[in-house]
Structure 1
Amino acid sequence: MAFKDKEGDTVASFNGKWISYSHTLMAYAAFVGALIVGLWLHYHKIVQNEFYGYPEEWFPSVSSTIGDRYPERSVFMLFIALTSGPRFVLVGLWYILTNRPNSSLPKFVAGVGIFRTLTCGGWTYVTSTDDHDWHDIFMISYLVATLPWTLGCLALSPANPTAIKYRKLFAGSFFATLVPLIYFFIQHKVHRVAGAYTIYSFFEWALVLLDVAFDAVTVVEFQNFEVVIKDIRGVSRVAGNRSVSDTILEKERGKEIGATFSGAFSWLGFLHAVADVYNGFVFWSMLTSLGVCVWYFPLWHMGISGYEAIILCTLSPFFLGIRPLRFLVTRYTWFFHLLSLPGLLAFLAKSPENRLFSVGFGLSMSCLSWAGTFYAERSQPHRLEGRISAFSLGLIASSVAKFAFWTNNPIWPIMHEPNGGWNKTGLVLAVIAILISTRSTASSGADIPAPGPTRGSSVFAGFGLAGLFFAMHSLLSDSSTMISWVWEGYPVRGPLAVPHGAWTLLAMGVGLNIGLFAPNLSRSWAFYGVGSIGAAVLTTYSHWSGYYGALVLAVYTMAAAPVLITHAARHSPGKTFGLAFLVYNLMVLFHVWVVAYAFVPGGPLVRERTDWVMTAMMLQIGAGIFSVSTQSPAAKTYKGKAVITAASSRQRSYYLYILGAIELLAIATAYLRFPSYDYTPYNPETKSITAGIWTIHFSLDNDMWSSEYRMRDLIKELEVDVIGLLESDLQRIIMGNRDTTQFLAEDLGMWVDYGPGPNKHTWGAALLSKFPIVNSTHHLLPSPVGELAPAIEATIDAYGTLVDVFVFHSGQEEDPEDRRLQSLYLAERMKATSRPAILLSYLVLKPGEGNYNTYVGEKSGMKDIDPTDWDRWCEYILYKGLRRTGYARVSRHTITDTELQLGKFVVDQPENGHELIHESQVPPGLRFPDLFKGEGVRGHRYHVFDEPRYYA
């Protein structure tokens, strides 16, 4: 934008500082005015929340103050409307102040400023009562845009010490306030702590004050502006001398971060970067889908099936050791990327075998293409950096997609339209992205080596890549994986998958920035030591302490990616990338063997040795760092800083813009997915609990489709209040690093306890409850020979009565001593509680025989829900201290290999006998749904008894 001087008479002028003053005054008047009016007229109403009122809560939140009540809502709307004029002018003056030729960042910041202003009007004038969805969309958009606005203003701030000091103070305070804000909100929503919402409200008001104060700092710069109105046709502005920011940026041109955003913005270049990142997203989508497709076969064969050999498809980079093939791959990468698309087309195959083979072939071509691409770009460091950025951002984008889709990737071959898949969209975008971003490489014309001598060991470089790929896949391919490692039950003492999964994603983004801007730090042994400490803390600690280690490891892993891949690309790709995927595959097997030791040869040797897995992973990364340390750094300036060309700076800025957009999407997802915690049981008028037990077979149905949607429908239609899920731990590479309980809990409106995490070496147990989970403890029962037996011992608050619920999966049939010891352990736990109790279990026994008499009877104090039901082997429901009113067995159809068993209980009533009564004698609120009688629906029906049983 250019301004020209124009002659004319000045009819009015005023100092620019009054724009800042008026904006600040109007904004504060809107919020403070509404607060005063609200406290005066509706004090008790606006301090009331869904759990508490006055005197437990005594100060209102921002939303309750400026909400739907008259007249405070009108006061707020009036002054916020008056704020809009100064706000638009403030954004415009800031753009004029910071704009310079061939610079994209000021334009971006100005656009964000206008967007924030419009979305502010959106959530102000469209209240939650008017349209809840659009109110949330506008509010989330405004909050998300606050981050780039704040950081952009800090980056463009002219060299005025006073302004910089206050901007840093207000921005730092704003983001620091978010931590206690989230903490006390969780204390209120999850733990229902009296008074927590009042403390939360103070931090919420602090955010408002700090947000406005940050923009008020512009008064320092704007006082050097004079706004002049002349009586000529058109509007003129005097630009006179160069702006202060131009002068400062001229001096700072050598600084790498500033240089990144100093070039002209090109939409074509940005589109190329987006396509490149999407190609990385497709690679990680295919790689993360292979394990879950392979897992289907040993799962149904209950042992090694032979299909596991397909994991060798990732060894295709070994073929790059064949010179003619390497020549073709490095010059025609677009063709080999197109050959990888069967990995996305796999969802069209009906049989699991064909789907697996399609994924295997597609992934083999993708591994070959990416290894060839890295090698082909080695001669031009900035092009290679762009590919590495796309590869790393593809992982973050894949994790964000899983965060948004409840840990399922929407383009996986286990997804299709009926269960929420976006396969067709993903395929079309992949074709477009390949045609845009892979048309040429630096080696398209000639095979040019990397600049400078190549030192270090190709073997060590391959080991470094193997450790890197395994860390990225096993720990970072889903934002909730490491959170499940440190989860230990209720009360909450650590992070939650939502919203704290966004923290993991932000840590990954921080790590990538470190890898790009501070490569010397990324390759240092000191930083490697920090990453190793993070891995050790994650492995050995729980709750917040363990998660802090997880965040450190996430930062380090992403920071190490650029230096390790860059170094590996200097060597023969067949040796480095081929060896990397070979060792990576061995690590995948290693991390499966530690839990699947009972089913694989040599398994007992590595039983429960996740610490060995983590140690091996870090030693491999260390080998890569050792090889990198022998390589001299790239050409440097006399000040010791890497030479950054205009082209490389411009390219880097595009990837950083994409990273920013991805991280903002993660933040928005965390906000949208945050649970409401306002759950109610299905039949509260009867004070009943409908409890169920279901072995869900790792959420893969008989045809290898992800089964969450079908499970959700059945649980909802059966009106289950409390359900135990077994074989539910999916947080490993072979299960896709998923968590079915997130979707079920959020969609059904239930509290959830994930149970013993993946570092506890079990197949998983989970508890979902319509009633608040007051406390829970995770148990690993005695298992000297066979697989570990997980159990959850939880206390729920059912209509004001504390009820203990046990969810338990016993050992295998082949290990009778394990199952005997486990029965004694669990019987002792059930006997110890004086509260009413329910056991939802998988026991592997026949009614009335052997360990059955330990679980049922004097040793445990528990009763069988129906001792006459002889046709059971695995699933059992036991109880004590409750009136049992109904029992049903529901067929699974093709969802899993085990039926769903249900029991109905009434609290605060004495136990009853086994006399059966007709359904007509049962109150409607205590009956099972009629939907599943006879032929049932979708293959689900009451079976064995052909109808539910009811008891007097």
Structure 2
Amino acid sequence: MPPKHRDGDVVAVIPGHWIAWAHTLSAYAAFLGALIVGVWLHYTKIVQNEHYGYPVEWFPSVSATIGDKYPERSVFQIFIAICSGPRFMLVFLWYCMSNRKDSSLSKFVAGVGVFRTLTCGGWTYITSTDDHDWHDIFMISYLVATLPWTIGCTMLSPPNPEAIKYRKYLASAFFGTLVPLVYFFIQHKVHRVPGAYTIYAFFEWSLVLLDVGFDTVTVMDFSSFEIVVKDVKGLARGDNQRVADAVLEKEKNRAVGQVFNARFVWSEMLDAAADVYLGFVFWSVLTSLGVVVWYFPLWHMGISGYEVAILSTVSPLLLGIRQLRGLIVGNLPVLYATSVVGLFAYLLQSPESRLGAVSFGVWQSCLAWTAAWSGARNNPAKLEAKISAWTIGLIASSIAKFAFQTNNPVWPIMNENNGGWNKTGILVFILAVAKAWQGSSSDSGSRQPSEKPKGPSILAGSGVGGIIFGLHSLLSDSSTMILWVWDGYPIRGPMAVPHGAWTIAAMAVGLAFGLFYPNLARGWTAFGIGSIGAAILTLSHHWFGYYGALTLTVYMMAVTPTIISNAVKFAPGRTFFVGFFTYNIMVLFHVWVVAYAFVPGGPLVREHTDWVMTSMMLLIGCGVFSALQNGGAPAKQESFRPAANPAARRQRSYYIYILLFLQLLSASVAYLRFPSYNYEPYHKDDKVITAGIWTIHFSIDNDMWSSERRMESLIRETELDVVGLLESDLQRIIMGNRDTTQYLAEELGMWVDYGPGPNKHTWGAALLSKFPIVNSTHHLLPSPVGELAPAIHATIDAYGELIDVFVFHSGQEEDPEDRRQQSEYLSKLMGSSPRPSILLSYLVIDPGKGNYNTYVSDQSGMLDIDPSDDDRWCEYILYKGLRRSGYARVSRGSITDTELQIGKFVVGEPENGNRLLSEEEVPAGLRFPELFKGKGVRDHRYHVFDEPKYFL
């Protein structure tokens, strides 16, 4: 007989740990049941992938097992449906165990648990074969929610040391498994390594086992629970107090423990988010300044005078005027609000007006943030909050560029026609300023009396200049340092996608390290490690060079709070003026090393990126030296550990939560942007290669708009299988740290070789190909006087035959000796290839004269695509070992200053003569698109000879 209770009859009692076991058994039954049935019935089919099958691949992936075949798909779905009931109960019981009145964290974690359960149903019942996009959306959402669920459950664990230990082990193993999982997926997808997918599958199954195993640990916690079913009318209510985490309680004096043991308040969280967004706007406006300035020397081919706009960063000098300083510090929301002019700049059509608006926005932003730091210098907690918001704003800016393929969606070169989110950015900015205005009177943390700083302020200011330059030049885009270490195919290092997310993660790790362990971050040992990382990045390629980049990333982010908090101890006007002026000098320095042929004094620093990096680290070292002078006794070095103030601890936790959210966002972007590599040429049945050469003028059109989307449309409409891009290296401050090739490659479905990287001191050469790039080598051709001439020598696999493609940009007209030596070098390089070849080039020659006869010669073996075309000077297409079937010239419109030249070649057929054919005699697959005949579209049309040429 069931026991009696005064509130009613107890009709059933269910032990709480039964729920956990039911969840575990049904989840494992779903996955393992599908695996057993799949291997039994369809083994060879579910181990088959797009590259290999059995016996090369011999173990099926999770997705192939649960989503492709009947009946294993049904087995999985049935048991997952059974699992949903225990899963919802598990989340509910966990909420009951962890809930307490003074914290919202348990509610948040419970919400995440429900969300994960629903998204699990999404990717379970909508497979990739049903709807690939929605399957991915649900799967990514599930994986993203796993991080806050895992961290939240660990933080809210009852005082059970064994359960906490297992949770930490399983969570660490889960996230650690992601690294080899991604590695072997890339080996399979990109490098097509036999057997790599089988190893990937093992790691994928490990994730499943670890994910379910993490929730199985609740068996230990729910043993104290019983679910009682009573025969009564009504519902008993109670408030369950959360039991303190024994591990965190034991470590309550540690900084990390204090952060996560604080009460969560949503209004304070919104304050932190608003400050971070203001930091995001600062970096967005600052990084846009270089792009709009660059437009003018680009068209003037030298110093234009508009470069003076970079001095708009020195506005902190106004803080040196005592009468103004109090007014500025007391009206920070006004300064923030007026910096919105930099966001509204996109509405101005005139390039000069847009530059003026951006310059004003930069002036106001630099003044506002310097005043914010200065005003908080006697309040360590508030100062930490402002520095955290500013640096996390940089991370958010980098993630925005990661998501939008290296363009920031709120830049003034963006609009609704080319992918801009300007209106959304402005709306959120207004909300953020309103929130900052509302919270401007609030304060957190105790004030400390100011002390007279030691040493000269120029050292502190130099440190500020060095660190801002380092953050801007290397970390404002996640792909910058990856392209520093890129060295062509086969791939031997990181790729912009997905490894850009690694750079962003290193930024977050560095900032957290600097906040929690300032004593280590400010020391000379850390500086030495950071300097070694800078040297490795500068001097090495591939993975080793990237490890140096990650080391430098962690160091720069970690030392930033120290350098800024030290600088605010000095007179702000003088110190930050020195800082931003030094930053400006470094900006010019790192442009001069590549623009030496067009600027005064340029040859003195020609090709000396090593000098730039050394100068940057020395400036940071000045800031470290000043900080150590003013660090005082160890007891005074706790300014970034406000342990005694609960409000300050809580404040820090919000910024850590934002960091975690941004990392989830970054990982999601990496997953969504990962290329498919299932590319095909436009006319594969005719074995045609349509090749083009285009000088893209740094992806800024004639009216100062970003031109990637218009370029993509023209390349797609001309049906280019292979295209060489020149003037394509945008990875410098003055060009916005962008990479046009990422957008083009992903949208067009092409392999891409960026060419010589930003540290090779060229204006850039890139190659996009519908055919796999088997191998590529980068060359810097002889340039004794003028600018460096980049070249790519790539081998592509076109229809089963290896074809060499050369992309080359020669020196300028003013340097005839450079161009002579370059023609000899390239002629020998092309002549050394026994394979059929295509040259896509910018030669600066008259047809039939001078160096032309070196490029088109017996030594090179190359032929001109149209010897009769005497209206060329820059762009040329040469070839050998292929049948040339067509040639066309397409006008540029307003995208750039150079036309697009196109040639069609047939693989597997011998070279032909110069006899022309009418279009009617040419098979349909060998014809150029009709779209560009006559007036064409968007000012793109066949010109010079008004229609394509076809050759017999």
Shorter-normalised TM range: over 0.9
Structure 2 Cα separation of the partners of residues 219 and 439 of structure 1: 46
Structure 2 Cα separation of the partners of residues 889 and 83 of structure 1: 63
Residue 257 and residue 929 in structure 1: after superposition, are their counterparts in 2 closer, same or farther (change >3 A)?
A: same
Q: Is the 8 A contact 2:381 2:642 kept in 1?
A: no
> Which residue of 2 is the match for residue 950 of structure 1?
950
Q: What's the CA shift for 1:217?
A: 1.9
Q: Is the 8 A contact 1:697 1:897 kept in 2?
A: yes
> Which residue of 2 is the match for residue 563 of structure 1?
562
> Which residue of 1 is the match for residue 754 of structure 2?
754
What SS does the aligned partner of 2:626 have?
helix
Q: Is the 8 A contact 1:330 1:441 kept in 2?
A: no
Structure 1 residue identity aligned to 2:306 = Y
> Which residue of 1 is the match for residue 339 of structure 2?
340
Deviations 1:380-438 (A, max 9, x none): 21111111111011101100000011100001000011101111111122122112114
> Which residue of 1 is the match for residue 884 of structure 2?
884
Q: What's the CA shift for 1:247?
A: 5.5
> Which residue of 2 is the match for residue 210 of structure 1?
210
What SS does the aligned partner of 1:690 have?
strand
Q: What's the CA shift for 1:517?
A: 1.2
Q: Is the 8 A contact 1:104 1:263 kept in 2?
A: no
Q: How many residues align?
A: 946
> Which residue of 2 is the match for residue 390 of structure 1?
389
Structure 2 residue identity aligned to 1:573 = P
> Which residue of 1 is the match for residue 612 of structure 2?
613
What SS does the aligned partner of 2:515 have?
helix
Does 1:111 find its partner at 2:120? Answer: no
Structure 2 residue identity aligned to 1:95 = Y
Structure 2 residue identity aligned to 1:81 = A
> Which residue of 1 is the match for residue 500 of structure 2?
501
> Which residue of 2 is the match for residue 684 of structure 1?
684
In the TM superposition, what are the counterparts of 1:132-281 in structure 2 within 5 Å?
A: 132-234=132-234, 244-245=243-244, 249-281=248-280
> Which residue of 1 is the match for residue 646 of structure 2?
646
Residue 950 and residue 427 in structure 1: after superposition, are their counterparts in 2 closer, same or farther (change >3 A)?
A: same
Residue 264 and residue 168 in structure 1: after superposition, are their counterparts in 2 closer, same or farther (change >3 A)?
A: closer
Q: Is the 8 A contact 1:277 1:394 kept in 2?
A: yes
Structure 2 Cα separation of the partners of residues 439 and 80 of structure 1: 48
Deviates more, 1:42-51 or 1:788-797: 42-51
Deviations 1:817-875 (A, max 9, x none): 11111111111111111111100001111111111111111110111111111111110
What SS does the aligned partner of 1:555 have?
helix
Structure 2 Cα separation of the partners of residues 800 and 841 of structure 1: 25
Q: Is the 8 A contact 1:98 1:246 kept in 2?
A: no
Q: Which runs of 5+ in 2 are unaligned?
A: none
Residue 277 and residue 849 in structure 1: after superposition, are their counterparts in 2 closer, same or farther (change >3 A)?
A: same
Structure 2 residue identity aligned to 1:773 = I
Structure 1 Cα separation of the partners of residues 633 and 134 of structure 2: 51
In the TM superposition, what are the counterparts of 1:564-579 in structure 2 within 5 Å?
A: 564-579=563-578
> Which residue of 2 is the match for residue 301 of structure 1?
300
Structure 1 residue identity aligned to 2:280 = F
Structure 1 Cα separation of the partners of residues 442 and 571 of structure 2: 14
Q: Is the 8 A contact 1:333 1:439 kept in 2?
A: no
Does 1:510 find its partner at 2:505? Answer: no
Q: Is the 8 A contact 2:161 2:247 kept in 1?
A: no
Q: Is the 8 A contact 1:331 1:440 kept in 2?
A: no
Structure 2 residue identity aligned to 1:794 = A
Q: What's the CA shift for 1:642?
A: 5.0
Structure 1 Cα separation of the partners of residues 458 and 301 of structure 2: 37
Does 1:86 find its partner at 2:86? Answer: yes
Residue 444 and residue 246 in structure 1: after superposition, are their counterparts in 2 closer, same or farther (change >3 A)?
A: closer
> Which residue of 1 is the match for residue 695 of structure 2?
695
Deviations 1:170-218 (A, max 9, x none): 2222222212211111111112222221221111111111111122122
In the TM superposition, what are the counterparts of 1:765-804 in structure 2 within 5 Å?
A: 765-804=765-804
Q: What's the CA shift for 1:443?
A: 11
Q: What's the CA shift for 1:901?
A: 0.3
Q: What's the CA shift for 1:337?
A: 1.6
Deviates more, 1:526-535 or 1:869-878: 526-535
Q: Is the 8 A contact 1:273 1:437 kept in 2?
A: no
> Which residue of 1 is the match for residue 600 of structure 2?
601
What SS does the aligned partner of 1:13 have?
strand
Residue 909 and residue 227 in structure 1: after superposition, are their counterparts in 2 closer, same or farther (change >3 A)?
A: same
Residue 471 and residue 195 in structure 1: after superposition, are their counterparts in 2 closer, same or farther (change >3 A)?
A: same
Deviations 1:339-364 (A, max 9, x none): 21211111111111110011001110
> Which residue of 2 is the match for residue 592 of structure 1?
591
> Which residue of 1 is the match for residue 50 of structure 2?
50
In the TM superposition, what are the counterparts of 1:888-903 in structure 2 within 5 Å?
A: 888-903=888-903
> Which residue of 2 is the match for residue 478 of structure 1?
477
Structure 1 Cα separation of the partners of residues 9 and 710 of structure 2: 74
Q: Which runs of 5+ in 1 are unaligned?
A: none
What SS does the aligned partner of 2:129 have?
coil
What SS does the aligned partner of 2:67 have?
coil
Structure 2 Cα separation of the partners of residues 326 and 243 of structure 1: 48
Deviates more, 1:757-766 or 1:432-441: 432-441
What SS does the aligned partner of 1:817 have?
helix
TM-score (normalised: structure 2) = 0.96
Residue 680 and residue 424 in structure 1: after superposition, are their counterparts in 2 closer, same or farther (change >3 A)?
A: same
Q: What's the CA shift for 1:783?
A: 1.1
Structure 1 Cα separation of the partners of residues 195 and 793 of structure 2: 29
Residue 243 and residue 365 in structure 1: after superposition, are their counterparts in 2 closer, same or farther (change >3 A)?
A: closer
Structure 2 Cα separation of the partners of residues 252 and 372 of structure 1: 36
> Which residue of 2 is the match for residue 823 of structure 1?
823
Structure 1 residue identity aligned to 2:336 = H
Structure 1 Cα separation of the partners of residues 912 and 92 of structure 2: 76
> Which residue of 1 is the match for residue 413 of structure 2?
414
Residue 403 and residue 248 in structure 1: after superposition, are their counterparts in 2 closer, same or farther (change >3 A)?
A: closer
Q: What's the CA shift for 1:237?
A: 8.5
Deviations 1:84-139 (A, max 9, x none): 12112222333333344423433332222221111111111222333332221111
Q: What's the CA shift for 1:633?
A: 5.5
Deviations 1:228-275 (A, max 9, x none): 3333335559988x7653555544433322222333322211111111
In the TM superposition, what are the counterparts of 1:824-839 in structure 2 within 5 Å?
A: 824-839=824-839
Q: What's the CA shift for 1:53?
A: 2.2
Structure 1 residue identity aligned to 2:304 = S
Deviates more, 1:475-484 or 1:847-856: 847-856
Deviations 1:278-315 (A, max 9, x none): 11111100000000100000000000000001111111
Q: What's the CA shift for 1:39?
A: 1.4
Q: Is the 8 A contact 1:104 1:262 kept in 2?
A: no
What SS does the aligned partner of 2:715 have?
helix
> Which residue of 2 is the match for residue 533 of structure 1?
532
Structure 1 Cα separation of the partners of residues 245 and 798 of structure 2: 66
> Which residue of 1 is the match for residue 316 of structure 2?
317
Q: Is the 8 A contact 1:20 1:215 kept in 2?
A: yes
Structure 1 Cα separation of the partners of residues 443 and 654 of structure 2: 23
Q: Is the 8 A contact 1:636 1:643 kept in 2?
A: no
What SS does the aligned partner of 2:244 have?
helix
Q: Is the 8 A contact 1:412 1:423 kept in 2?
A: yes
What SS does the aligned partner of 1:66 have?
helix
Q: Is the 8 A contact 2:382 2:443 kept in 1?
A: no
> Which residue of 1 is the match for residue 283 of structure 2?
284
Structure 1 residue identity aligned to 2:323 = P
Structure 2 Cα separation of the partners of residues 611 and 53 of structure 1: 48
Structure 2 Cα separation of the partners of residues 693 and 30 of structure 1: 54
Structure 2 residue identity aligned to 1:256 = A
Deviates more, 1:930-939 or 1:91-100: 91-100
Deviates more, 1:44-53 or 1:227-236: 227-236
